[in-house]
Amino acid sequence: MREWDGVHLRPLLHTERTEIERYIRAHELHPCHDRTNDQQDAQRNRIRHTLLPTLCTYGNRNIRDALVRLSALAGEEDDFLTQCAAAELERASSVGGLSVGVLNTLHTAMVRRVLRLFWERVTDGQQDLSYEHEERMRRLLTRAGTAQCELPHGWRARLRYGVLRLQREETRTTQQGKEEEIFLPLTHEYDIINFQGRLFSMRRMDIVTDEDWQKAVDGKAVYADAAGLPPLVLRTRRPGDYMRLPIGRKKIKDIMIDDKIPREARDSIPLLAVAGSSEIFWMVGGRRSILAPVTEHCVVCHCLGKGEYSIMMSDDIERISFSAEEIRARVQELGAQITRDYRDAQEKVYCVGILKGAAVFFTDLVRAIDRPVNFDFMIVSSYGDAAVSSGQVKILKDLDFSIENQHVIIVEDIIDSGTTMHYLKTLLQGRHPKSIRLCAFLSKPSRRVTPVEIDYLGHEVPDEFLVGYGLDYAEKYRNLPYIGVLRRSVYE
């Protein structure tokens, strides 16, 4: 409690009761006495009449004054931190929620304050968010993919595509309907969808190989002519669902019975459905409809600029660590930080990309830097086709330009043992740049053998085999738009 909180003025807050009583007697006043202040059933009265006198007798005689000063100081600091949290809340605000990438750059204490302000803003000032609820939301920020937690009054915090949102629960049927229907962005060249913990990749194709057709035979993929494909959603079974087959229209329920799908599994199987209807295009892992068939003529048309979509389940990726949206948000933050640090630099700034792994990160990063930069590239290898670093560093391509007396930023995808980067920084330092800094999107500190100082870091990650966004295993998976954990069975 403060003397002035912007609404209430408490002029006698720092005045002791004995002083007030002395003033009353001296001026012969007759104040009203609230007898409820004497009752011991209220905690504040027990503190006032029992705890404080005991502390004064056996501890600090000036405990009352000390507590008042502490309260005033805490109030001032709370006001300041609230202002800081409000500024961070605005910085983290994204479409309909908060950017996880921005929140993860903040101190844990500031994250809690931002989450509390976010709660109060969305819920129109509700004040009953407990510490446990704050921690539930904060723990979501470390989760990969899609996650959620329950909050008071039917609210839920949902994490998806790198954005934390608050949503009010309605009826259970409505809630499930929202959760179980994802619209497929068929206009995208490539996209990843996380549905019920399973990953689906969607890509535009110009040709279908024998290997591709085998995936369709195995139930891992479905192909369709884009020209005849209506809007689709990914969802689970609903009453009245049907599929058009070569033999005619048939209920999905009867198809599942014919295909001997266990009753307990029927409501959880993902379905590709025509948006806004009960027509099913593909029962994932099973049959597809006669809708938008792929023909030899259709494939020829693809080469002329038409397209075909392949919706495939990803077998090699165990889970997504960073979605494409999370990656974009963090790269923008790194670019803004580099822009600030080199805004007044008179010398050239050379961004040196380490190929091949950093190629994707490099191109995104330099476009996020709002100042002129020069490009150069090196190929430095210590992996080959292995899953772990060999420790033997090889320079396969050196710089094309001199970096003497210039600012250098080395751009790398991931720092693992640190052996390669330590060697590279030592090598480039010998060429007398004005400064040399390191920017890496990922770092595995648990695997560090040689200490390396990272000036600009996207994320620290645990000791897991990551692929995507330039990261590979035996030259595969570099083109994935997200970063995911590779299944151990792939590389062991």
Residue tagged active-site, from 191, 416, 455, 472: 416
Amino acid identity at 328: R
404 phi/psi in degrees, rounded to 5: -60, 130
Strand segments (E) across 13-117: 93-94, 97-99
Query: Using N-to-C axis directions, what is the helix angle for 359-368 and 324-341, rounded to 10°?
Result: 50
Angle at 235 between CA 326 and CA 309, to 5 degrees: 70
- Which CA distances in Å does 95 have to 53, 163, 227, 364, 454? 54, 8, 32, 21, 31
Would you give the end-to-end CA distance of the chain in angstroms?
62
Measure the CA–CA gap between 51 and 29, rounded to whole angstroms. 30
Instruction: Provide the token pair at 246.
Output: 């070569």
Measure the CA–CA gap between 265 and 259, rounded to whole angstroms. 12
Instruction: Provide the token pair at 334.
Output: 């790194």
Measure the CA–CA gap between 177 and 238, rounded to whole angstroms. 10
Under DSSP, is residue 239 helix (H, G, I), strand (E, B) or coil?
A: coil
Measure the CA–CA gap between 309 and 298, rounded to whole angstroms. 12
Q: In the block, which residue shows the tokens 């645990």?
A: 462
Active site (annotated) includes residue 344:
no
Under DSSP, is residue 475 helix (H, G, I), strand (E, B) or coil?
A: coil
The neighbouring-strand residues paired with 246 are none
Kindly state the helix (H) or strand (E) to which residue 467 belongs, with its residue range.
strand 466-467
Other beta carbons less than 10 A from residue 322's beta carbon: 26
Catalytic residues: 416
